[in-house]
Structures are given as C-alpha cells and as structure tokens.
Structure 1
Amino acid sequence: MKTMLILTDFSENAFRAAEYGAQIADPLHIQRIILYHAYQTVVMGTDLPVSSTKESQQIYLEGMENLALVQDRIKPMVPHIPIELMAEDISLPAHIKDFCKHQGIDILVMGVSGRSGLERLLLGSTSSLMIAEARVPVLVVPKDTPLAKPMTSIVFATDLKDHSSVPVHQLYEFLDAFPVDVQVLNIAKEKDEKYDVETKEAITNLHNIFEKYNATFDYVREDDIVEGILDYSNRHHASLLMVVPQERGFIASLFHNSISKKLAYNANIPLLSLPPGATC
C-alpha cells in the first residue's frame, strides 16, 4: 500500500481515527497520507448552496487551519511520511470513488462519532455508504479504540457466499503487516457436516486462502448475527475485525440496513471492509 486517506470532521473521535491510521501506516508501508475534510456550504435551514464566495472561502480557510492542527497531532507518529491537507466544498460519498481513483488511494480511514460528528461530515450518510462507494479498503475506527496497543488477533467474518471475490492481495497485505493469530468466522445457522457442493467448495477455497497463516476456522449462528460476531471477536481478544461485503449473503446485508450501524457503533475494535473483487 502507498497512499492512505484519512477523513476528519475535527471531532475527538475523528482525531482518534487519524491517530490510529498513523499508528498502522508503517506496517502497511504507507508512503503518503492525505488528511481530508469534506464540507458543503449551504444556507441554514435550506439545501441551497451559499451564494457568498467570501463566506465559502472563509469556511475553506478554517478547514485548512483545522487540518493543520490534525497534522501537527499525528506528524510525530509518522515523521518520515509526507502528509497532504485537502478541504473541499463537496458532498463526499457521491464523489469518493472518483477521488480515490484519481488520488491513487489504497486505504480509507474514518472514525465513528454519530450525527454530531462523522455523519455531519458526510451530510447525513453513514459509514456503510462510504464502504459501498469507495471501492478501496475502508477502516472504521471506533471512538474507544486503544492506541499504542500491539495487535494480537484478527477475525475475518464470512458467510461463504461469493468466496471467489475475496480480494486476496489486499487481504494478504494486512495479514503480512500484522503477523498475529487469525480466526476465520463462518456465519452459518450451525456447524453442520451436511454441506452442499457449493458450500464445501467455499470452505476449501477459504482454507487455501488462509493456509500460510495457520488460521483457525469457527462458526457463529445466523440469528443475532451482530452480537455473535462481536461476542466472538471480544472472546478472542481481536484487534481487528475484517469483512468483505459482497453482493449477496449475510455480510452484504450488514451494510444495507441498520445492522451496519449497530456493528460499527457497538464494536470496540476497528472494522476493516475489503472491497469484493478488488485487484492488486
């Protein structure tokens, strides 16, 4: 990986995400960090853009000043990595895919801070929309994520659907950067040996993907899925929860309804979403 994009709304929760991103930059071989603030100037109480160029420019300058403060905060953590500051008058979710492509973004880092923070930054959207639109790995960092704590375990949750779409190259970048215990958590009704041919193929493929990492394979029940994933992650002292929200299956459903919010807001460990079918 080369370029990390860190979104911020200047809240303390966003600062935590920026600090966490800086903390993992070296293991991921990041060579460039972009601190980014998206805003959209509107007339209060309406959806109309601000007509005053002067007012819009003032908002931009304030944004750049605040970005500089964030830069000062994380620079000691990555003294050798250049940090660029960008503030734009834009609705970010609708443009994030093109932005990531144009800037060569390899990973996007964002915090979770509710309507008073990140959701205001994204003009009412949620982290699930960013995950769907960005088409790059998206790391969602909860507000209580501890810093300066070694990574000890990674949980990769999968529902065995579209297993061939797992972005192996990006997956391996993370697993190689953080050589810790890996648990592959299969989301199923129960552990059942009477699998159909497709499911057996998926399991075999997953074993092949994780073979060199000596991963442990386990199961969680379909009902109460979020609690099951979080409980499993906590019991195994996971430092990172990884998912691939593909087009069908349980994992996809997490990012198309309120369950995704529940997962993001209730998790006390970072959530990494890898884009399905991504290439190296």
Structure 2
Amino acid sequence: MKLDHVLLATDFSSPAQRAEEYACFFAARKHARLTVISVLEFAAGMDPAYPVNHQYLTERMQEASVLLTEAKQRIANRGISASTRIETGPPSEAIVAAALTEAVDFIVLGTSGRSGLAHVLLGSTAERVISRAPCPVLAVRSTGGTEMALKRILVPIDFFDCSLDAAEYAAQMANESGSAIRLLHVMEPVSYGLDFTLGDATDLARVRERRLRQLEELATALVAAGISTTSVIRGGIPRNAILEESRQWSSDLIVMGTHGRRGISHLLNGSVAEAVLRQADCPILAIRSPKFHPDHRRLIPVSVRQSLSR
C-alpha cells in the first residue's frame, strides 16, 4: 500500500479529535507526511466580500487558525511534523480538491454518523468524500475511550472488483501490521420470482457452496502470504450482517470496497459502505481508488483474482 502523504480533515469536533489520533497512528507507522485541513463552510455563489459574509469568514478564519496551531502542536508532541491549510466552500468539495492538489494517498476524517431527517437534508461530508475521493478514506465515528489498535480487520467480499481491491489493500495493511483478517460474504434474502415462488433450494445451496469455495480460495491465498485469515458466510441484509459480524468479532477496522455511486443511482441503491459507516463501532476504510507503490508485490495473485472476479 502507498501511504506517503496523509490528509486529516478536521472540524475540531469529538469525532474529528479521534480521527486526529488515527491520522497520527498511520502517519507514524509509515513515516508519512501529514497535512491538516479545516474547511470554513461557505455556500457556493455567496459573495465573500459582502460585509456580513466577510465578517463571518474573518472570525471563522481566526478561530480555525488558533485551533489548527493547537492541533499542529499536539501532533508535534507525537514526533510528527504536520502542515496546515484552511479552505472555504462546501467541505466535501474542498477536501477532495485538497486531496488532488496535495496528491495524498490517504484521507482521514471524523463523522457524526447522522441518520434520519438530518442526514437526508444535510448529507454527510464523510459519505460525499468517500464517493469522490482519489484515494482510500478512513472515516472515524467513535469518540475515544477505546484502544488504538489494528489487530482485527474485517473485509466484506461480494467478488466484484471493488471488494477485491479492498481485500488486496487490507492484505497489505495486515502484512505490515501483523493483523488478522476475516473475510465476510453476505448472501442476501431470497427474492420472489415473477410467479411469486421462491428460488429453488437446490440452486441456493449450490450458490452457497460456490461462494464458500471462493472464500476459501481467497483465504488460502492470504494464508500463503503469511496473513492469519478466516472466512465466514452470513445471510441477511448486507449492512446489518456486516455490522453484526464486526461487533461479534470485535473488529478494529472494516475495509470495504465502494462503487462510489452518485446521482439517481445512489438515491435508489444507496451504498452499503455508507450505511455501515453510520452505525459501525469501529472506523471504516472505504476503498474506491486504492493506492499502491508501482513495484508492490501482490498478496492476492492475479490468477486467484481472475478466478474470483464476477
């Protein structure tokens, strides 16, 4: 995995403070550069020169400058050198733009895990960043009180390319940290056919057996690479099954591939990664655009990936 430059996006809230701890954790492990960004939310089209807007931005800028200086000192106390920047505009757009400008390999940010009407009306900065980011995004919802560890990584697998990318990224992390991986495949509930009959039980058993073989093949490849790996199949709604497995296994991190859907497709189909993000007890690492060094050694052989890919 390529992790030379980490971008921490903060609004100085409790989740953002926990995200800062994770950003420092990964930056220290990889001796990576760390950039801390704070975005002053400002709607597109508003005139920053208008007196009221100008006063608002000036006050927010002063406040953010003080808080960023304090954050930079906290980070320095951990032995990590950080640079800071302040941007204005819609937060998700500013964070993605900064990630592109800075050519970062990893974004870390906190999320409040909103749901219900507030989520529908306001959306989530974390979810919007995940859907557009040019690199993996670590979203941290927890507010502290738990050990900073990376011992157990849960990797949901649906055998599409994005989940196999996530598996490779998780394998690289586990290989460097000595973490254990659990592969999870979720078989969704049976749907009714046009004649209102259930699918043939024999066909369902055959599908389950095929998925078991595929999971075992992937697990075997990871074990051969020296990674402690187990696998499990659950039935149910994907987001619920992932959350339940994560809690029962006490995972420290969930690494998920995401299609990064936007627009009407997103509204109709949603995103499992984003649904999990709202309720997970541990951080979620969303992989839409994985970053690897050009000469990295694949831990999941190409031949295995080709045999697994849908």
| Fold in common (TM above 0.5) | yes
Q: 1:194 to 1:12 in 2, by over 3 A?
A: same
1:197 Cα deviation (Å)? Answer: 12
1:199-238 pair list within 5 angstroms: 203=215, 206-207=218-219, 210-211=222-223, 212=225, 213-221=227-235, 223-238=236-251
What TM-score, normalized to structure 2?
Answer: 0.71
The DSSP-based 3-state class of the residue aligned with 1:71 is helix
Q: Do residues 133 (structure 1) and 132 (structure 2) align? A: yes
Render the CA deviation track for 1:140-170: whole Å, top value 9, x for unaligned. 1122444544332111112122368515664
Q: Which has the larger radius of gyration?
A: 2
Counterpart of 1:21 in structure 2: which amino acid?
Answer: A
1:204 Cα deviation (Å)? Answer: 7.0
In structure 1, the residue matched to 2:46 is 48
Counterpart of 1:182 in structure 2: which amino acid?
Answer: I
For the 8 Å contact 1:144–1:268, the answer to whether it is kept is no
Q: 1:224 to 1:197 in 2, by over 3 A?
A: closer
Number of equivalences: 265
Counterpart of 2:72 in structure 1: which amino acid?
Answer: Q
In structure 1, the residue matched to 2:193 is none
- Taking the aligned partners of 2:143 and 2:163, their CA distance within structure 1 comes to 34
- Taking the aligned partners of 1:183 and 1:132, their CA distance within structure 2 comes to 25
For the 8 Å contact 1:15–1:70, the answer to whether it is kept is no
Q: Does 15-24 or 204-213 show the bigger shift? A: 204-213
Q: 1:225 to 1:169 in 2, by over 3 A?
A: closer
In structure 2, the residue matched to 1:11 is 13
In structure 2, the residue matched to 1:62 is 63
* RMSD over equivalenced CA pairs, Å: 3.6
1:228 Cα deviation (Å)? Answer: 1.5
What TM-score, normalized to structure 1?
Answer: 0.78
In structure 1, the residue matched to 2:101 is 102
In structure 2, the residue matched to 1:111 is 110
Q: Does 184-193 or 101-110 show the bigger shift? A: 184-193
Q: 1:15 to 1:72 in 2, by over 3 A?
A: same
Residue in structure 1 matching 2:281, options 268, 271, 277: 268
Render the CA deviation track for 1:82-122: whole Å, top value 9, x for unaligned. 1111111122323544422321211111112256xxx99xx
1:203 Cα deviation (Å)? Answer: 4.3
In structure 2, the residue matched to 1:240 is 253
Segments of structure 2 that go 5 or more residues without pairing to the other structure are: 190-202, 294-310
The DSSP-based 3-state class of the residue aligned with 1:266 is coil
1:65 Cα deviation (Å)? Answer: 1.3
- Taking the aligned partners of 1:154 and 1:94, their CA distance within structure 2 comes to 29
In structure 1, the residue matched to 2:75 is 74
Q: 1:83 to 1:36 in 2, by over 3 A?
A: same
1:122-201 pair list within 5 angstroms: 124-162=123-161, 166=165, 170-189=169-188, 194-195=206-207
Which structure's residues are more often helix, by fraction? 2
- Taking the aligned partners of 1:194 and 1:90, their CA distance within structure 2 comes to 52
- Taking the aligned partners of 2:113 and 2:156, their CA distance within structure 1 comes to 24
Segments of structure 1 that go 5 or more residues without pairing to the other structure are: none
Q: 1:149 to 1:57 in 2, by over 3 A?
A: closer
For the 8 Å contact 1:160–1:187, the answer to whether it is kept is no
